A and B are shown apart, each in its own frame.
Chain A
Amino acid sequence: MEILGYITLTIFIAAMLLMLFRKLNFPVQTVLIAVSLICLVVGAVFRSFTEGWVGVILLPNEMIGGIILHPITALLAGLFLSGALTASGGFGALKILINKLRKTPIGLAGTLVILIQLPVIASLPCGRIIGAALLPLLFAFGFEGGMGLLTRAQLIVLIGSFARNAFGSCGPSPIGGVGQIGEGFLGAFFPTASEGILRAPQAFSLMLGTAITALFLKFISMKLYPKDVSLRDLPEGGMEKKRESEVRGSFRGYLSLMIFLASLLISIFQPFGKMPVQTVLVAGGILVIILCRITIRDMMGGIILLPVSAMAAGFLAAGALAATGGFNALGNILKGFSNIPFLGIAGMLAIFVQIQTILPLSCSRILTAALVPVLYLFGPAKFDLITWPQLAIVMAAYMINATTSCGPSPLGGAGMMAEGTMRAETGYIKGAFTFSSMAVMAPLAAIYMKFLTLSSFPASGLQFERNVWMIIGFTVIIFAANAIMIKLTNIFLSGNVNRDWWYQLLGFVIPGAIGGAILAFCLYETAFLPIIQGTIGGIIAALLIGLMVPKRLGPTETVE
Chain B
Amino acid sequence: MTLCIGVEVVFTYITFTFVGGLSGAIIAFALDMKSPKEIIQGAVGGIIAGFLMSLMLPQ
Task: Tell me how many residue pairs across A and B have CB atoms closer than 8 Å.
Answer: 142
B1-36 near A? 1/0 per residue, CB < 8 Å: 000000110011011101110111011111111000
Q: Which residues of A, 140-155, contact B by the 8 Å Cβ criterion?
A: 150-151, 153-154
Q: How large is the interface on B (under 10, 10 to 19, 20 to 34, 35 or more residues)?
A: 35 or more
Residue of B nearest to A150 (CB): B31
Query: A: which residues have CB within 8 A of B?
Result: 105-114, 116-118, 120-121, 123, 150-151, 153-154, 157-158, 161, 195-196, 199-200, 203-204, 207-208, 210-212, 214-215, 217-218, 268, 448, 452, 455-456, 466, 468, 471-472, 475-476, 479, 483
Q: A472-B15, A475-B18 are in contact. List 18 more A-B contacts (CB 8 A).
A: A105-B44, A108-B38, A109-B28, A109-B45, A113-B23, A113-B28, A114-B45, A157-B30, A161-B27, A196-B57, A203-B53, A207-B16, A208-B23, A211-B30, A214-B31, A215-B29, A475-B22, A479-B22
Which residues of the partner chain A approach B19 to less than 8 Å between Cβ atoms? 204, 207-208, 475
Nearest CB of chain A from residue B33's CB, rounded to whole Å: 4
Which residues of the partner chain A approach B39 to less than 8 Å between Cβ atoms? 109
Which residues of the partner chain A approach B50 to less than 8 Å between Cβ atoms? 117, 207
Asked if A110 and B24 make an inter-chain contact with CB atoms under 8 angstroms apart, the answer reads yes
- The binding surface of chain A is classed by DSSP as helix
Residue of B nearest to A468 (CB): B11
Asked if A203 and B11 make an inter-chain contact with CB atoms under 8 angstroms apart, the answer reads no
- Across the interface, B58 reaches (CB within 8 A) one of A118, A120, A196, namely A196
- Across the interface, B38 reaches (CB within 8 A) one of A109, A208, A210, A268, namely A109
Which residues of the partner chain B approach A203 to less than 8 Å between Cβ atoms? 16, 53, 56-57
Query: B: which residues have CB within 8 A of A?
Result: 7-8, 11-12, 14-16, 18-20, 22-24, 26-33, 37-39, 41-42, 44-46, 48-50, 52-53, 56-58
Asked if A109 and B30 make an inter-chain contact with CB atoms under 8 angstroms apart, the answer reads no
Which residues of the partner chain A approach B15 to less than 8 Å between Cβ atoms? 204, 448, 452, 468, 471-472
Asked if B48 and A106 make an inter-chain contact with CB atoms under 8 angstroms apart, the answer reads yes
Nearest CB of chain B from residue A560's CB, rounded to whole Å: 29
**Knowing A121-B53, A204-B19 touch, does A113 contact B42 (C-beta < 8 A)?**
yes
Which residues of the partner chain B approach A200 to less than 8 Å between Cβ atoms? 12, 57-58
Of A157, A211, A218, which is in contact with the most chain B CB atoms at under 10 Å from its CB?
A211
Asked if A215 and B45 make an inter-chain contact with CB atoms under 8 angstroms apart, the answer reads no
**Knowing A108-B33, A204-B15 touch, does A214 contact B58 (C-beta < 8 A)?**
no
A494 to B11 alpha-carbon distance, docked (Å): 45
**Knowing A195-B58, A211-B27 touch, does A109 contact B20 (C-beta < 8 A)?**
no
Nearest CB of chain A from residue B30's CB, rounded to whole Å: 4
Residue of A nearest to B18 (CB): A472
Which residues of the partner chain B approach A153 to less than 8 Å between Cβ atoms? 32
- Across the interface, A452 reaches (CB within 8 A) one of B12, B18, B20, B24, namely B12
Which residues of the partner chain B approach A110 to less than 8 Å between Cβ atoms? 24, 28, 41-42, 44-46, 48
A456 to B8 alpha-carbon distance, docked (Å): 7
Which residues of the partner chain A approach B42 to less than 8 Å between Cβ atoms? 109-110, 112-113
